[in-house]
Structure 1
Amino acid sequence: MKIGFVAFSIAAAVAWIVLFYFSAQAVAAMGLNAAGPTFFAQFGHPWRAQFGADFTIHLLFAAAWMIWRSPSWILGIVFAVLAINFGALFTLPYILIAAWRGGGIESLFVRPARGR
């Protein structure tokens, strides 16, 4: 196994743990229902709007990538919805599992054959 892939896997796992901690703190303090209004309210500030737009575009492109590389459209759409709603909490494990199954990071850029 390549050292770069191991380093990537460790970094992604640590990032997921940190994000999970902050997400758990947010849910405990404000509840799940506050996520949407809090996110969209930040579009009133120019720099927060820039960050929110950047983040939204990133999520949409990550979701499109998941649909593209998924072995079935239905599974791809399920993954895309999870990525959009859960962000890196879903995307990081998806990337790690896909890379491990494919044998390395390079496999993330190859579209598996669809079973149709």
Structure 2
Amino acid sequence: MLALRLFLIIGWTVLLAYTSFTVGKEGINLFPAFFGAMASGSWQGQFNLDFMLMLMLSALWTGWRNGWSVSGSLLAIVAFFGGAAFLMVYLLVLLHREQGDMRRVLLGVRASA
């Protein structure tokens, strides 16, 4: 469990630093480049589509594990737009709150069933 926590912390830190560098260099509006690459039919577009599907999967899991409550639905939206920056922190919080019980981390409100 320590290795997972260290990965999440280091990964989040690296991602935040790289994102800050990229925003400083390219600006904040990523949508034309992101969707433009998908429209071009290039490998970058394929990667972007794959990434967007992973964002959707993360959002669906986040909403589902919270029973699609109001807060769970809001977290799902944040998961979609926040990507790994959200998911890494969310998993760290869940690991702490659930005391490392992966069943409760993964299943959320459904863990007691």
Alignment gaps of 5+ in structure 2: none
Distance 2:31 2:51 in 1: 14
Change (3 A) 1:108 1:41: same
Q: Percent identity?
A: 27
> Structure 1, residues 54-97: CA drift from partner, whole Å, max 9, x if none?
11111101101110112662111211111111211111100111
Q: Which of 70, 86, 89 is the matching residue for 2:66?
A: 70
Is the CA contact 2:34–2:45 (under 8 Å) kept in the aligned structure 1? no
Distance 1:7 1:98 in 2: 15
Q: CA RMSD in A?
A: 1.7
Distance 2:18 2:106 in 1: 30
Alignment gaps of 5+ in structure 1: none
- Letter of the structure 2 residue corresponding to residue 83 of structure 1: A
Q: Which of 20, 45, 58 is the matching residue for 1:24?
A: 20
Q: Which of 39, 42, 65 is the matching residue for 2:37?
A: 42
TM-score in terms of structure 1 length: 0.83
Is the CA contact 2:55–2:83 (under 8 Å) kept in the aligned structure 1? yes
Distance 1:39 1:87 in 2: 14
The correspondence of residues 1-116 of structure 1 with structure 2, limited to 5 A, is 5-32=1-28, 34-43=29-38, 44-70=40-66, 73-104=69-100, 106=102, 107-112=104-109
Distance 2:108 2:93 in 1: 15
Query: Which fold has the larger relative contact order, with Cα–Cα distance below 8 Å and residues 6 or more apart in sequence?
Result: 1
